Structure 1
Amino acid sequence: MIGLGDLNARFRVYVQNRPPLPQYQQLWQLQALQAGEIDQIYRDCGNGWRKLFNVYAKLLFELGPAFGFAQQAPSWQQYRDQRLLQQGSGTALLFSPPDLAATDCIHLIAGRSCAKDWLAQGMLDSQLHWLNEEFAIDPANRLLVTPYFDYRQLSNEKITRAVALLQQLQPRLSV
């Protein structure tokens, strides 16, 4: 796994791009973030990264008690700043295609184009069932494709839709 987060992540989000900073461009393993590092990434890399982290935290927070993320902080903002992608958080942001052999976690690909690229390149072995132009699901592999983590693409209404789909994949997940 190449990305940011907890080595034992049970909730894994996949994107194609890394933060455009040397320490992340040269990353070839999973690295837990330190307190304040998310804030530093979006100060150095721009609003797009702030949106990604915000949407990630909001989604986790809205999953409810069965997933356990909302119990770790009083608000999604505090969860983002104090837990997201840190050691022991149960979360990861990965820059490589999903390893679907990992069955003790939920896989979420952020962005239809990312999922379609990996499928076309043979880097994703999945039987995705496209529910519409934006969402796809593979229950056997506990995989969901959503719009990219941006307010315009994954609005609050679409986060609610994603939560309902993730709850279908949830039974064996506990953080």
Structure 2
Amino acid sequence: MRIAAGFGDEHAQIRVYVAKRPPMQEYAYLPAMQPLLQGEIALINQACGNGWRKLFNVYAKLLFALPASFGFLQQASSWQVYRDSFLLQASSNTALLFSPPPLNSTSNTIHIIAGRTYAKALLEQGLPLQLNWLNAEFAIDNHNRVLVCPYFDYRQLNNEKIGYLVKLIAQL
């Protein structure tokens, strides 16, 4: 099994995969999962710009749109508070990864690949997915519990599309 490299909880149920890590020296080499500390998202946003701010915001908004049974709504009063106080920290049940999904069909992990282009690149690299494209932007592999959605940016994954992604997550 591949070692997951990224930010967050190594036992996370909700895992988002992106092609690139923040262009900061301290994250140039991540041999494994690294939980973020409170305030670290704000530091990444400040150092890396608007694109990373949007990614973290969309991730937090997605979690807050999930049904209460996922437990994210009970941890904070808003998605903003959740982002700043819990997202990608130890025991947060969330992860942002910069490596391909380690597939295990017996796990309850939900893998979300952010971006159709990244998903297609992973397929070309040999990731054994059986994606069923639901439309031009969303795909699902029920067996491996993998979803492909637009990149985590307000323009690409707006509130309406977040709602659609929530429905797909609930199907898994």
Q: Could you tell me the TM-score, scaled by structure 1's length? A: 0.94
Q: Name the structure 2 match of 1:27.
A: 30
1:89-136 superposed Cα distances (whole Å, 9 cap, x missing partner):
0000000000112622110001000000000111x1110000011000
Find the counterpart in structure 1 of residue 81 from structure 2: 78
Give the CA RMSD over aligned residues: 0.8
Which of 117, 121, 130 matches 1:117?
121
**Runs (4+) off by over 6 Å:** none
Kindly provide the amino acid, as one letter, of the partner of residue 44 in structure 1: A
In the TM superposition, 1:29-108 aligns within 5 A as 29-101=32-104, 103-108=107-112
Name the count of aligned residue pairs. 168
Distance in 2 of aligned mates of 1:31 and 1:53: 16
How far has the Cα of 1:26 moved from its partner?
A: 1.4
Equivalent residue letter for 2:71? G
Q: What amino acid sits opposite 2:152 in the alignment?
A: F
- Tell me, which stretches of 5 or more residues in structure 1 are unaligned? 170-175
TM-fit CA distance, 1:28: 1.5
Cα distance in structure 2, aligned partners of 1:34 and 1:49? 16
Of 104, 123, 130, 1:127 maps to: 130
Match of 2:168 among 149, 165, 168: 165
List gaps (5 residues or longer) in structure 2: none
